[in-house]
Amino acid sequence: MPFRGAKEWHESKRIRNESEIVRLRPSAYNSVPVAQVNLTNHFLIAMPSMADPNFSRTLTYICEHNADGALGVVINRPTDMNLATLFDRLSLSLDSPEVGRSPVYYGGPVHPDRGFVLHNPAGDWQSSLAVNPGVGLTTSKDILEAVGQGNGPAKLLVTLGYSGWGAGQLEDEIKQNAWLTVEARDAIIFDLPAEARLVAAMELLGVDYLNLSEQVGHA
């Protein structure tokens, strides 16, 4: 489960044809067609009718979205592996037992052997994508080396794999009512337990997930 260097990270971004990121102002979100909306730094909430087992009852954080596609990580599906085991497999030292007990998350079905670190603050790491002024997504091993020495970011969530969509694919799925979207809140990612994040994201929309599930089930 290697963490990639800068060269590999940039090569992986060919899903977006290595083009510059096209971003819209957040205020434009409600005034433009779905196809033009930039969902970077938004939560993607799987509708109760989601049949794909990779995304059923998931909350995904979109880290990058532009005309060439989207990339995000699932943030509410912990695996049986914890950080202590991950560090051991990477031959890295980890001084904090508390950090070691933190789960490693299933980030999505793409490259499940690759590690991704979602963290706050964003910091300055070898291969990192700034999602918003306070949150970064890093794939280089230097961030885990810093965590092991007690010098890493204050808050982090580590995933194996990520979720990816080609050009226009996510927009089409939203039109088909596969997802709900809402602007993300850092506190939901880093301060709530995994099982509370989906419900908290739904509350940002003023919707009760359980009631939504019942409505869909009786449609």
Residue 32, pLDDT > 50, answer: no
Residue 12 lies in a domain: yes
111-151 pLDDT, tens digit per residue, is 999 999 999 999 999 999 999 999 999 999 999 999 999 99
Beta-bridge partners for 155: 120
> Does 1 fall in a domain?
no
Q: Check whether 155 has a pLDDT greater than 90.
A: yes
Asked if pLDDT for residue 49 goes beyond 60, the answer is: yes
CA-CA-CA-CA torsion for 189, 192, 196, 197, nearest 10 degrees? -10
Mean pLDDT over the full length of the chain: 84
Residue-wise pLDDT for 63-109, tens only, equals 999 999 999 999 999 999 999 999 999 999 999 999 999 999 999 99
User: What is the reported pLDDT for 6?
Assistant: 38
CATH number of the domain enclosing 12: 3.40.1740.10
Average confidence (pLDDT) over 200-204: 96
> Which residues form the domain of 42?
6-217
pLDDT at 37 over 90: no
Return the percentage of the chain with pLDDT > 90, whole number.
Answer: 76
Largest CA distance in the chain: 53
pLDDT band with cut points at 50, 70 and 90 for residue 208: confident
116 within domain boundaries: yes
Residue 23: closest CA among 40, 48, 2: 40
At 138 the pLDDT is 97
* Buried residues in 165-193 as b, exposed as e (16+ CB within 10 A): beeeebbebbeeebbbbbebbeebbbebe
pLDDT in tens, 58-76: 999 999 999 999 999 999 9
Higher pLDDT, 25 or 202: 202
Residue 17 pLDDT greater than 80, yes or no: no
Q: Please report whether residue 152 resides in a domain.
A: yes
Domain total of the chain: 1
Residue bearing the bigger pLDDT, 36 or 69: 69
State residue 36's pLDDT score: 65
**Pick the residue with more confidence: 33 or 36?**
36
In a domain, 212, yes or no: yes
